[in-house]
């Protein structure tokens, strides 16, 4: 099962998402719970690289209302970056003080070596001191692995020296093995809550955020990542570590058989982005009228993946303003079903838009 919730009040949206999902099947009041955001760099979440503190706040409020008393936030920023500075720059120090939640700087932690799939992987010891693990990544593109979300976010649970070594091993196989270790260690005591608010379009360290204003949640990282891959224009098999994870039996891909629940689908936020140096490149191709942010984000992701276009002067039309209208160009989303050529979906998937553009 996957839950997708839309909204601009990110604390409320995250809380609602957890209240509607099946996480209560696995939680117990006496558990200690660790939250693992993505604080890869010392930059605010508005840049598209790091997890919004409001997302963590929504989770914390839900856990406290559930009866959980022992909550911590743990992270190790990317190699060459300082986790303590990231906690401060990203608003997590204030969050920690407000809710008496412990910040666990894994940069100061010792490693524990575990063997899996022919590899020896060094993982920070503190990770295994909790009873329940909640992975809170950002859905964004990555310069080397195409996408980073749930599975890759676990890299932040290792010493920085091990992060560097992962790159020498090709990233994909060790990421899959790392997830196999977590699957074995936590079994059903883990959950994924994806910050899909404004992930970066092309670079893991931010700078080109695309607003989609959504929270995505589910129990299985392979399932959730495969769903998220399609949202930014990839077939799951294009993400090698995702394909390897499936082959290892860590989970199945999102499919038409997957149960998906959308919350607030009738009031998806309209496009809020005023200026974006990547999105600006494609504005000349787009005719937008009251488009929802999530569909617009899918279009921008697809255009960026497609590269240079030859549309012969025709516009790509998107938005609720095109309901009951027809046109000769390409329509994006269910609102443009009157067009001769349109990509169906509400919201539309970037992978489907990309296929149409190709």
Taking Cα atoms as reference points, which of 32, 55, 48, 35 lies closest to residue 216? 55
Q: What is the pLDDT of residues 16-74, one digit of tens each?
A: 999 999 999 999 999 999 999 999 999 999 999 999 999 999 999 999 999 999 999 99
pLDDT tens for 132-189 read: 999 999 999 988 899 999 999 999 999 989 988 988 888 999 999 999 999 999 988 9
Confidence of residue 278 (pLDDT cuts 50, 70, 90): low
Domain boundaries of the chain, sorted by first residue: 2-266, 279-357
* pLDDT at site 347: 87
pLDDT of residue 128: 94
Beta pairing, strands 190-196 & 286-288: unpaired
The DSSP line for 140-155 is: EEETTTEEESHHHHGG
Q: Please give the biggest Cα pair distance in the chain.
A: 63
Angle, helices 53-66/10-20, rounded to nearest 10 degrees: 40
State the Cα–Cα distance between residues 64 and 82, nearest whole angstrom. Answer: 29
Which of 99-108, 214-223, 292-301, 307-316 shows the lowest per-residue confidence on average (mean pLDDT)? Answer: 307-316
Question: Does the pLDDT of residue 118 top 80, yes or no?
Answer: yes
Per-residue pLDDT band for 14 (boundaries 50, 70, 90) equals very high
CA–CA gap between residue 196 and residue 353 (Å, rounded) = 19
CA-nearest of 185, 190, 215 to 56 is 215
Query: Residue 240's pLDDT band (boundaries 50, 70, 90)?
Result: very high
Confidence of residue 312 (pLDDT cuts 50, 70, 90): low
Cα gap 209→280, rounded to integer Å:
12
Alpha-carbon Rg of the chain, whole angstroms?
20
pTM of the model: 0.89
Q: Domain 2-266 maps to which CATH number in 3.30.70.100, 3.40.50.11440, 3.30.420.40, 3.30.1330.120?
A: 3.40.50.11440
Q: How many whole angstroms separate alpha carbon 83 and alpha carbon 75?
A: 7
What pLDDT does residue 294 have? 85
Alpha-carbon distance of 357 to 42, in angstroms, equals 36
């Amino acid at each position: 099962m996957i839950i997708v919730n839309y909204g601009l009040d990110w604390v409320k949206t995250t809380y609602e998402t957890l209240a509607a999902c099946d996480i209560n099947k696995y939680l117990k009041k006496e558990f200690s719970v660790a939250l693992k955001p993505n604080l890869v760099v010392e930059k605010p979440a508005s840049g598209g690289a790091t997890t919004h503190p409001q997302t963590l706040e929504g989770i914390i409020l839900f856990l406290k209302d559930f009866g959980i008393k022992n909550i911590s936030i743990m992270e190790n920023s990317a190699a060459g970056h300082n986790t303590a500075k990231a906690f401060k720059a990203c608003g997590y120090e204030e969050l920690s003080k407000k809710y008496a939640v412990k910040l666990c700087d894994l940069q100061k932690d010792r490693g524990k070596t575990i063997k899996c799939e022919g590899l020896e992987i060094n993982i920070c010891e503190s990770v295994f001191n909790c009873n329940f693990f909640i992975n809170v990544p950002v859905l964004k593109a990555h310069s080397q692995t195409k996408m980073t979300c749930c599975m890759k976010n676990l890299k932040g649970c290792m010493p920085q020296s091990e992060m560097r070594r992962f790159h020498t091993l090709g990233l994909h196989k060790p990421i899959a093995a790392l997830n196999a270790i977590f699957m074995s260690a936590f079994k059903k005591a883990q959950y994924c809550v994806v910050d899909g608010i404004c992930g970066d379009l092309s670079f893991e360290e931010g700078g080109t955020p695309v607003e989609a204003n959504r929270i995505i949640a589910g129990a299985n990282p392979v399932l959730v990542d495969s769903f998220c891959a399609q949202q930014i224009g990839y077939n799951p098999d294009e993400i090698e570590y995702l394909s390897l994870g499936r082959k290892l039996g860590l989970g199945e891909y999102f499919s038409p058989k997957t149960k998906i629940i959308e919350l607030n689908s009738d009031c998806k936020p309209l496009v809020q982005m005023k200026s974006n140096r990547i999105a600006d490149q494609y504005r000349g191709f787009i005719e937008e009228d009251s488009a929802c942010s999530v569909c617009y984000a899918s279009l921008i992701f697809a255009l960026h993946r497609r590269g240079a276009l030859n549309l012969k002067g025709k516009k790509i039309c998107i938005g609720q303003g095109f309901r009951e209208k027809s046109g000769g160009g390409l329509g994006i989303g269910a609102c443009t079903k009157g067009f001769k050529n349109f990509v169906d979906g509400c919201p539309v998937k970037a992978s489907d838009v990309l296929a149409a553009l190709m």
